[in-house]
Structure 1
């Protein structure tokens, strides 16, 4: 029978995964590990927005705190992305992947045990740092393990599908967890998942690194982080304080100066973490604009769409989760089609087409929100179309950016790709929140021209934007603001956000097409012909 057959079942399982694996088995374990990590990252993006109304009630959070619960995660991702790419290239992608999984599990535990909004925001920042590192390693590990065209395409398709599962089912999973248990488990569920992913990585992922062993770019990391944090703080806090306020101006100055320092440092650094020379590869730059376009539209609106369904349309948490499936499920089923289309027609056609579809979906959502008796049915066509556009765009963007550079620089390329996504996402989370409040303010002024301006009016608009109609009811007693006026203002605010998402996506379509079709295009081959 042999020693393996005599072992108890748990020890026998450990024996099996620690035994040397064949190349095909390592392929399976690598894909499984990366897909499980992408599932966690996808769930963390889409399940948390679905519970924001619950967090607002349970933790007594205001609108700005809700923004920071999400933005702390994205800003933290940005702070580590480029550093992780360098560290992974230098010290080993498997090693950094293992560390990021351990930290993601621990910080998810911190978030689940948070007792107020401030602690949760801090936990989300730590979780975002580990999540960003984990995401970079996913792409780098896949790029290193699967280098040939057809196999590479299948691996990235699997990654995109599982990422889509996390995104697609995240809203309903978050809503169901809250309904059956408590909001804490939306975070705590990631801890056992991280343990399983860790076992798969240790068993099946081979170590790889960049033979050049570049140094860590500390000035670049600090300056980029300050630039993103300063700009996000300026947009989020500046409106309430007044953009001419000293602290708001100071945050803008910090953002601008930090960005200039970052650019100068990268151009002078011998081995920069952001190698601007890759931007000369037009296929890389065009795909990068596609990544930015998704984060000017689809992804930041993921945070505000649950608030729209609950606060404007009046759905409960589970109903909101079900309604959001139309927005997210296409990201599950469409990525394989996007890969096939990219193989046949090339990414310079598919990526702009996907962005155009996202923009059209947003304009349809704006129409669906403006009709009489708006509901999930009137929003359905736009949600489906926007999700389809995302599914067409996302995986070809990732495959093109990493496939446009030498394999040994996969960590750097994926770092630039994900950094562009997270930076644009962090800024647009803040910007969409600002547009939402401004739309509500505009509606209140038009409907009630005698209403006095001032800080109290903005606080009222922020209360309406978060669905906190208690503040409106108190104002009703003093200034006779009907609740239907508040509902109309909320609908207009969301309409402004949807219009912004559509226009922004189409602007990036034009920019991407211009770069892709430049006469100086470099014909790298991330997709075989």
Structure 2
């Protein structure tokens, strides 16, 4: 069968949109099943954190390398390989019978997903070259990716309700087979004969620094923050980051050119990029736990409740683009972060009400989503538009890396704060007969959200808290600490973003959506 260029492009766009949907779903659908995984796989609170963080860290690891490998060996070929890897590792996730196996499988799945994401941009960049056609293609890609993120929670909850948790992962095996067929039919092979340099030392040192910091935050309390092992991990993390900075400053083609941070608009946008993940995206991992633990919701109910948190991110971006054109991104980005912080403040108030429910949380959830929608698009457009065209790909790479690294670190930080908040309440509310080890173990079980099973096998707790009121209040108290952290993080980075932008800058400097998409496409060629 002969395919015209137009029909091939349509099939290629369908392949890219399907794989972007898969990537978005795999980020946002998993949080709603974490409580199920905690129960079925006997996973503790830290393992639940690693189930999410393994995916994010792996995406960051392959992000820098995939563009160069695709340019050198063929974008279509690497795209096909990434889809196969994603399918096989999704199968491994679905067949996992223990938390450690699932964590390893999630890391490998993240490598396939991160490679798949970069290849999507590379394919769109090569196959859609005309301005109008290119704009429509990137627009469709962004919309479908947003749908995957926005509706992932309810889709994950519904899958658990009608089938087993394994199908949250196994569904991607089926979708991958369809995607492979679409890529084989529609995507053209392309290469860049000038792509030779791969910054392996930079990739390794940055990955080690990020992993070390997340590991220190997550495992430090068990090791003892002042223990020799914990201090050694901290020292190795600092050494890796210092080595990364040294390597990038000496490299003739650095993946992170620190000189771009001297550009005020770029630095202001990067504070906005980090601010979203200090607050909004990292809290999305824990919010389903709160809905299920504090309110007793099912996975489906928790997913439906999360729609108030995610859907505004789909409808607000067009407004954000108009506001950026009228008032400039240097005002819109800090405003978006301030709105996210205000949403966290309202969630804190709503969670503390006597008859707290999703209705009391609703205003804060909606406001957080609105703030994210105001921030997301202007950040990308400004970051890529603030630098020259030949550096737009690197700017896009730094933006994406800042998001994923901030997300990985703050998943760990929010988990640490949640544990400390729960533990502090239990120390005050329970009798003095509980030792420190028992209290910490209890705090981890409460933070995981399965309050019904907390007292099982614990006669002392059953006697001290027969109605479960203390453990419920401890969970609410711990999440209150996390929400306060969300306020401080969002508002602090809003302030830093505003200071970085300064009073200067004109609307002419603000990149249009088309230029931002061009920058994202350059990322696949230049990293």
TM-score (norm 1): 0.89
1:401 to 374, 383, 387: 383
* Structure 2 equivalent of residue 177 of structure 1: 159
Q: Give the Cα–Cα distance (whole angstroms) in 1 for the partners of residues 125 and 392 of structure 2.
A: 7
Cα distance in 2 between the residues matched to 1:20 and 1:130: 30
SS at match of 2:35: helix
Distance in 1 separating the partners of 2:260 and 2:175: 36
Residue equivalent to 1:5? none
1:519: how far off?
Answer: 4.8
Once the two structures are TM-superposed, the CA of residue 296 in structure 1 deviates from its matched residue by 0.4
Question: What CA deviation, in whole Å up to 9, does each residue of 1:19-40 have, x standing for no partner?
Answer: 2414xx5654454333222211
Counterpart of 1:7 in structure 2 is none
CA distance in 1, matches of 2:498, 2:148: 30
Residues of 2 paired with 1:26 and 1:287: CA distance? 36
Q: 55, 59, 69: which is aligned to 1:77?
A: 59
**5+ long unaligned stretches in structure 1:** 1-14
1:254 equivalenced with 2:243 (yes/no): no
Which of residues 48, 54, 58 in structure 1 aligns to 2:30?
A: 48
Deviations 1:437-473 (A, max 9, x none): 0001111223247355522211111111112443435
Aligned counterpart, 1:12? none
CA contact (8 A) 1:335 1:394 kept: yes
Q: How does 1:19-34 map to 2 (within 5 A)?
A: 19-22=3-6, 25=7, 28-34=10-16
What is the DSSP-based 3-state SS (H/G/I as helix, E as strand, rest coil) of the residue aligned with 2:464?
Answer: coil
The equivalent of 1:472 in structure 2 is: 455
The partner residue of 1:348 within 320, 325, 330 is 330
Preserved CA contact (<8 Å) 1:74 1:128: yes
Please say if residues 240 and 455 of structure 1, whose CA atoms lie closer than 8 Å, have aligned partners that are also in contact.
no
Compared CA separation, residues 491 and 363, structure 1 to 2 (3 A):
same
Task: Tell me the residue number matched to 1:514.
Answer: 499
1:88–1:95 Cα contact (<8 Å) kept: yes
Cα deviation code 1:471-521 (max 9, x no counterpart): 435445268431211111110101111111121011111122222236589
2:444 to 462, 466, 473: 462
* Number of corresponding residues: 511
How high is the TM-score relative to the length of structure 2?
Answer: 0.89
Query: Which deviates further from its counterpart, 179-188 or 329-338?
Result: 329-338
Q: What is the aligned counterpart of 1:330 among 312, 317, 337?
A: 312
Q: Deviations over 1:323-372 (max 9, x none)?
A: 11111111222233333333444332332222221111111111111111
* Structure-1 residue corresponding to 2:512: 527
Does 1:502 pair with 2:487?
yes
- Range 113-122 or range 136-145, more displaced: 136-145
Counterparts of 2:501 and 2:123, CA distance in 1: 27
Alpha-carbon distance, 1:56 to partner: 1.0
Contact 2:55 2:111 in 1 (8 A): yes
Q: Match of 1:270, SS?
A: coil
Whether the 8 Å CA contact 2:60–2:207 is kept in 1: the answer is: yes
Deviations 1:182-221 (A, max 9, x none): 1111111112322333344444445566665241111111
Q: Does 2:150 match 1:168?
A: yes
How far does residue 137 in structure 1 lie from its aligned partner after superposition? 3.0
Query: Is 1:295 the counterpart of 2:277 in the alignment?
Result: yes
Q: For residues 96-245 of structure 1, what are the structure 2 equivalents within 5 Å? A: 96-142=78-124, 154-205=136-187, 212-245=194-227
Q: Distance in 1 between matches of 2:503 and 2:66?
A: 32
Which of 470, 473, 492 in structure 1 is aligned with 2:477?
492
Deviation at 1:144, TM superposition (A): 5.8
8 A contact 1:31–1:155 mirrored in 2: yes
Query: Could you report, residue by residue, the CA deviation over 1:214-234 in whole angstroms, capped at 9, with x for unpaired residues?
Result: 411111111111111111111
Partner of 1:277: 259
Q: 1:377-416 to 2 correspondence within 5 Å? A: 377-405=359-387, 411-416=393-398
Compared CA separation, residues 149 and 290, structure 1 to 2 (3 A): farther
Alpha-carbon deviation of 1:395?
2.8
| Residue matched to 1:36 | 18
Distance in 2 between residues matched to 1:84 and 1:42, nearest whole Å: 19
Task: Verify the 8 A CA contact 1:107 1:126 in the aligned structure 2.
Answer: yes
For residues 412 and 526 of structure 1, the distance between their equivalents in structure 2, rounded to whole angstroms, comes to 15
When structure 1 is superposed on structure 2, of 148-157 and 132-141 the one drifting more is 148-157
Contact 2:269 2:379 in 1 (8 A): yes
3-state DSSP of counterpart to 2:149: helix
